[in-house]
């Protein structure tokens, strides 16, 4: 049984290589477009996250050098807490949405914007806290 599955995988890979060699220009352009889009998405993620993280790290380092009895210490602590919460409703929310989109696209065989709309409907129906929402979505993702 296992050898049959391995031979099937080898056949699929061999067919994929045949398609690649038959359409070299098409496959090369598709690969370049895909890599460039993922690179742009990665750069957007880095540049959108960098200011928030540097502010948070700066506030944390200033916290070490201030006295706990001063109002500046309380202000820095509140600001660091607020920044971390924003970093976690935004990136946590995006992670939950994309995980739910994957789950919806697998379970209900809907793709693209339609799966995104169904995931948004599910999020509105749950009305949970962020942490429990992340745990639930990761649990459903693992089940699928």
pLDDT digits (tens, 9 = 90+) for 75-97: 888 888 888 777 776 777 777 77
- Residue-range definition of the domain harbouring residue 129: 66-144
Whether 71 and 51 share a structural domain: no
Angle (CA) 50 45 53, round 5°: 20
Q: List the structure tokens of 102.
A: 């994957």
Give this prediction's pTM: 0.45
Q: Is residue 60 part of a domain?
A: no
Whether 32 and 73 share a structural domain: no
Q: Is residue 100 part of a domain?
A: yes
Whether 142 and 90 share a structural domain: yes
Do 106 and 96 contact (CB within 8 A), yes or no?
no
pLDDT digits (tens, 9 = 90+) for 28-42: 787 888 888 888 878
Do 141 and 103 contact (CB within 8 A), yes or no?
yes
Whether 36 and 75 share a structural domain: no
pLDDT digits (tens, 9 = 90+) for 91-122: 777 777 777 787 787 787 777 788 888 887 87
Whether 140 and 106 share a structural domain: yes
């Amino acid at each position: 049984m296992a050898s049959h599955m391995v031979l099937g995988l080898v056949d699929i890979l061999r067919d994929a290589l045949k398609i690649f060699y038959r359409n070299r220009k098409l496959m090369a352009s598709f690969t370049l477009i895909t890599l460039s889009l993922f690179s742009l998405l990665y750069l957007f993620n880095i540049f959108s996250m960098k200011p928030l993280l540097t502010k948070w790290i700066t506030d944390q380092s200033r916290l070490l050098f201030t006295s706990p009895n001063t109002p500046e210490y309380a202000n820095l602590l509140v600001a660091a807490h607020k920044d971390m919460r924003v970093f976690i409703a935004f990136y946590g929310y995006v992670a939950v949405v994309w995980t739910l989109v994957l789950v919806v696209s697998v379970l209900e065989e809907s793709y693209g914007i339609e799966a995104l709309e169904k995931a948004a409907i599910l999020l509105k129906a749950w009305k949970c806290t962020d942490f429990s929402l992340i745990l639930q979505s990761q649990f459903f993702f693992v089940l699928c």
